[in-house]
Structure 1
């Protein structure tokens, strides 16, 4: 009798344990992605593609325009929006010809594509890269660097290098000074360091023309639990104002209408509604909203960018050397029932459709045939398409060479990527 009771308890234990197995996360494409799957099966070229939903982009653009007050100018960040077609589209909708560049080849392309633009460097470049810009800039474009281009300076050493470059070129260079307002990523560390740099600049008249300051405050969006976001924002702004106060003391250097650039996709909403020292914000990612920008401040923005890849193989989810164990593994975790091999891979992206797909940590990543695992409930077959959401857009466009444009679920054109995008 006791033995039967023990056997019964053991059976109940096994049943209870079995009930704790992972639930089946697999689902078929929802209506939106089912439509994209049909589109790519019918009109795709069988290659991985970067898709931009113009309807969602328009909604993000309208939200941004509604939020930005009149005194806060907008500068579009080319590294996150690395397509001349995309930048032109946004510049017209948002009525801005201000762009922020981060790479020398991209800078040259922006000067060619937007000869009326105002360009600001988003990071300090070696003086040699700046020299290459001037060497590669055709003279007939109509773009005038002396009026339309501002280089970023982060140290006294770079200040001297750019002064020497100005002498070598025989023309003055416009500069902005990068200040550290809490991100701890370089730039002039405190107002005293900025003052010393301005003293040096004062001794080099005519070579470098100061336009203003640039301070990035991305740390505010990731404030620690013991510091509220609003307080972190106030601290960063207080630091910015301290730098401005020092710069204003150099009256012969400080322009009448200085550039006070900062913000970014992660914090532009705060600058739009709270007290800000800025007169210009730079952003790009908020308009596409890749995965790393899922923050409360960007909650109303919509994801507009997808990676689409065809399924090359839809097979049993067995692992090398563990084929005999696959029935048990699949029974315990139905999300390991099937394996789907994509065309290409190792993108900085997360599978989003069909739901329930995941990278296989036991198999690893691949740039050639990325392996995803999922349940049979996904309904995927070879030549179906899987959709992934990029974590970031910066550095991604160049991997695909172009953006494929969608409107109303239909393909409506393509935009080429910028070099270095």
Structure 2
């Protein structure tokens, strides 16, 4: 009898303990910031998914970047992460730069038209047909001189020869920078010796005008546990210096004021704190700070970009084939009480307001009507908007036709975006 009582008591205790482990209700209503945006979009929204950019946060990020660089390095804005001519123009003026890094041939033509005084550096090697298309599609009446304002990136001796042939076919010299591998293992000249061989070849190719080097150090921001980040940075910088020394040996080819480009959003603070071999740093995403840039080095930057999507349907959280189980499911997990279907979806983004929403992993994702689940505490209806924080800005801005701008929490304007096509 005592044993049965004991086992019964243990069973009840186990059941109680298991019940105590059930998920807590994580739902909240919109906080004050997003509640005001929700009201404005209910009143003035276009009824379709929208990018929102907080200009006050953007300004703070830009000012922080400028203060950290403090004139020690020139700044080059990365167009793929800031794919809007309005945004690039705004930042170029605030940060006093006309230098842009471009990764896509149609965007190169767009920037040449929109910024006739710009200095454009390719951030990756372009296939020769893409480079040729740039010249074919460039209007002749533009006050833009590619031979003075575009620098093509060369990553191999083969591409060096290809671009020399292109220059001859065009009947004009081409400016080039040589890509060096400082540890990322993503191509470029792998050793100072390989770079020296390319320099020797360059002696025979006067149609190519060397501007300098480009070495990307993104791997430093993803250092493994056995490699200290500052050690990884120092190692990459030392490699960069070795490449510089190798190129400088060819004094007749090496420019008096060389381009020494590198860095990036994830590592620019290291270059601003340490003695860096660079004289120019490329930055884009740090100014918008999407979620993948939540790192220790960027902790003082603020998220400035959101996706706002209308709620198309606010329903109970029932799953197909599991309707009878829904009362038990939502009793166990109140965060599955309701399902909210968005206008669009499958963005690289996570819901941030109202708090407590999550993608329904049991149901799956959709680019047409993405399904979120949450508790009744969110108080969402089909008249509301949900706000998501992008994981990246690269490639995302081009998926939207425009960005709506916020100033002091109020919608104040729009900028068109540069498409991905």
Q: Using structure 1 for the length normalisation, give the TM-score.
A: 0.98
Partners of 2:262 and 2:282 within 8 A in 1: yes
Alignment of 1:258-337 (within 5 A): 258-337=258-337
Alignment of 1:139-154 (within 5 A): 139-154=140-155
Deviation at 1:6, TM superposition (A): 3.2
Deviation at 1:333, TM superposition (A): 1.1
Distance 1:356 1:419 in 2: 33
Query: Could you tell me which residue of structure 1 aligns to residue 374 of structure 2?
Result: 374
The question of 1:243 aligning with 2:243 is answered yes
264-273 or 22-31: bigger deviation: 22-31
Tell me which stretches of 4 or more aligned residues in structure 1 moved more than 3 Å: 1-6
Query: Match of 2:93, SS?
Result: helix
Query: Could you tell me which residue of structure 2 aligns to residue 163 of structure 1?
Result: 164
Distance 1:364 1:304 in 2: 28
Deviation at 1:122, TM superposition (A): 0.4
Query: Match of 1:331, SS?
Result: helix
Query: Match of 1:167, SS?
Result: helix
Distance 2:240 2:10 in 1: 68
Deviation at 1:336, TM superposition (A): 1.1
Deviation at 1:203, TM superposition (A): 1.3
The question of 1:391 aligning with 2:365 is answered no
354-363 or 169-178: bigger deviation: 354-363
Query: Match of 1:22, SS?
Result: coil
Distance 1:328 1:104 in 2: 55
Instruction: Provide, for residues 10-63 of structure 1, a one-character-per-residue CA deviation record: whole Å limited to 9, x for no partner.
Output: 222211110011111111111111111111111101100000000100110111
Deviation at 1:69, TM superposition (A): 2.7
Query: Could you tell me which residue of structure 1 aligns to residue 219 of structure 2?
Result: 219
Give the total of aligned pairs.
420
Distance 2:100 2:328 in 1: 56
Query: Match of 1:226, SS?
Result: coil
Instruction: Provide, for residues 186-229 of structure 1, a one-character-per-residue CA deviation record: whole Å limited to 9, x for no partner.
Output: 11111111111111111112x10000000000111111111111
Query: Match of 2:340, SS?
Result: strand
Query: Could you tell me which residue of structure 2 aligns to residue 360 of structure 1?
Result: 360
Distance 1:69 1:385 in 2: 40
The question of 1:197 aligning with 2:191 is answered no
Query: Could you tell me which residue of structure 1 aligns to residue 405 of structure 2?
Result: 405
Deviation at 1:335, TM superposition (A): 1.2
Query: Match of 1:361, SS?
Result: coil
Query: Could you tell me which residue of structure 2 aligns to residue 109 of structure 1?
Result: 110
Query: Match of 1:171, SS?
Result: coil
Query: Could you tell me which residue of structure 2 aligns to residue 75 of structure 1?
Result: 76
Deviation at 1:342, TM superposition (A): 0.3
Instruction: Provide, for residues 54-108 of structure 1, a one-character-per-residue CA deviation record: whole Å limited to 9, x for no partner.
Output: 0100110111111113130000000000000000000000000000001111000
Query: Could you tell me which residue of structure 1 aligns to residue 232 of structure 2?
Result: 232
Structure 2 gap ranges (5+): none
Query: Match of 2:420, SS?
Result: coil
Deviation at 1:393, TM superposition (A): 0.4
Instruction: Provide, for residues 352-404 of structure 1, a one-character-per-residue CA deviation record: whole Å limited to 9, x for no partner.
Output: 11111111111110000000011111111112110000011011112111111
Query: Could you tell me which residue of structure 1 aligns to residue 98 of structure 2?
Result: 97
Distance 1:270 1:8 in 2: 60
Deviation at 1:5, TM superposition (A): 4.1
Distance 1:23 1:359 in 2: 17
Query: Could you tell me which residue of structure 2 aligns to residue 120 of structure 1?
Result: 121
Q: Using structure 2 for the length normalisation, give the TM-score.
A: 0.98
Partners of 2:72 and 2:272 within 8 A in 1: no
Distance 1:340 1:264 in 2: 37
Distance 1:39 1:419 in 2: 26
Distance 2:344 2:402 in 1: 16
Distance 2:401 2:241 in 1: 42
Structure 1 gap ranges (5+): none
Query: Could you tell me which residue of structure 2 aligns to residue 15 of structure 1?
Result: 16
Distance 2:419 2:140 in 1: 20
Distance 1:354 1:419 in 2: 30
Partners of 2:399 and 2:420 within 8 A in 1: no
Query: Match of 1:61, SS?
Result: helix
